[in-house]
Each structure stands twice: as structure tokens, then as C-alpha cells.
A = this chain, B = another copy of it.
């Protein structure tokens, strides 16, 4: 569904201090048994303890704030948000790679719904984008490729055709999880031709504006694909 480093050539990971700090602070929160509403140590204090400058620590705090873990209040301090679970979930997602089944599950849930909505709401333009993706995929497969680019385009077109910014956002979220856990191969079918055929079936249902058939076809497609993935 997405690629950063092409051809397996992994760009050297550029370590960012603030990222390490986020991890350390998360670990600290857990080890210190801090509960929602509790305060983190003062910036000057924390910076010294962690051996970094305040400016750098400030970056880490911004990151934690964006992640929803803390809420920094001027004059008071950094207070833990009410859902410390988020912190552990994020940590868990980073650490364990065993989430594949869960991610497949979540993705399946969303994509089935997206297919159904796409059938109801697709414009002719959406349909054109879907057909375009199919053509690209067919061409790629014909050239001996796996057709992964077309596959990606296809799913993006479906997502767009559902016309739901919120669901699209959730899909983007899952895409990030997939990237983070380095399971980029997810969603790349074992047999390109077979996958192309099920794509065509989905597209046909969407063209016919048959929501139920679209959902069914998408479910079948995902089950096929993830079965292959999970068994290798």
C-alpha cells in the first residue's frame, strides 16, 4: 500500500533525539505508575535528568502532546491526559510485530464498508479512477510485475469514492501502522491474476451501485489476500 524505501534499499535511519526522549518519557510514565492528571517533572528538571537541553525536551513534549499523551499547561506543567492507554497502545504497536492479524482485521472492516459506500456514492469520475487503476494493474501484470502499484491505486480510488474523510483518515492511520511495523508486503497478493480478477468483481459491483455485492466482493478479496499472506 505504500513504499518509502524502494527496492529494499533501506535509507539509513536518522536518529532524532526527541524520538528517543518520547520513548524514555513513555517508559518513565509507566515505571513511575503515573495516572491521568498527574504531573510530569518540571522541564528544567526533566531536561537535566535526561541529559538534554530544554529546547530538545520541548520538542519531545510537543510530540507527546500531538500524540495525545500529555497536555502542557503554561505555569503549571505537563499533565497526563486521561487516556494513558494511548501511550501503552502506541508503545505496544511499536514493539510487537505480532499485530498482523489485528491489522488485517481492522483493514478488512474498513475496506468492506468503504466498498459498500463507494457503490452508493461513486461519481463517474470515481469510476474512471477505479478503471484507470485496474488498467495500470493489468498492464503491470502483463509486463511480469506483481501489479502492486496498480493495487495501491485501486484501493486508494475505492477509498476516495466512498467520500468519507473520516474513514479515509482511519485508513491512513492503518497505513501508518503497516509502515511502522514494516509489514509493507501486506496486501500484496500471491497470485496477481487472481487478485486482478477479484478487483474487477469489486469494480463491477461499484459500477452497478450494488452496495451489498461490493461489500461481499471486497470481503472475499481481502480474505484471499490475507490468507496467502498469513500462511507464508
Contact = CB atoms under 8 A, between A and B. Distances in A.
Interface of A: 1-2, 4, 14, 16, 18, 55, 58-59, 62-63, 65-68, 71-74, 81-83, 85-86, 89, 92-93, 99, 102-103, 105-106, 109-110, 113, 117, 164-170, 172-174, 176-177
Contacts of A81: 2
Given A62-B59, A113-B109, A172-B83, A99 B68 contact: no
Contact of A166 (B59, B99, B117, B164): B99
Contacts of A170: 106, 170, 173-174
- Which has the most chain B C-beta neighbours within 10 Å: A4, A55, A59, A67? A59
Given A2-B71, A2-B81, A173-B170, A105 B164 contact: yes
Q: Is the interface of A mostly helix, strand, loop or mixed?
A: helix
A89 B165 contact: yes
B59 A2 contact: no
Contacts of A73: 4, 14
Contacts of A58: 55, 59
A36 B109 CA distance: 28
28 contacts: A2-B81, A4-B71, A4-B73, A14-B73, A18-B62, A58-B59, A62-B66, A63-B65, A66-B67, A68-B172, A68-B176, A86-B169, A86-B172, A89-B165, A89-B169, A92-B165, A99-B166, A102-B164, A105-B113, A105-B117, A105-B164, A106-B164, A106-B170, A109-B109, A109-B167, A166-B174, A166-B177, A170-B174
Contacts of A109: 109-110, 113, 167
Given A68-B1, A71-B2, A166 B83 contact: no
Contacts of A55: 55, 58
A172 B99 CA distance: 17
Contacts of A176: 68
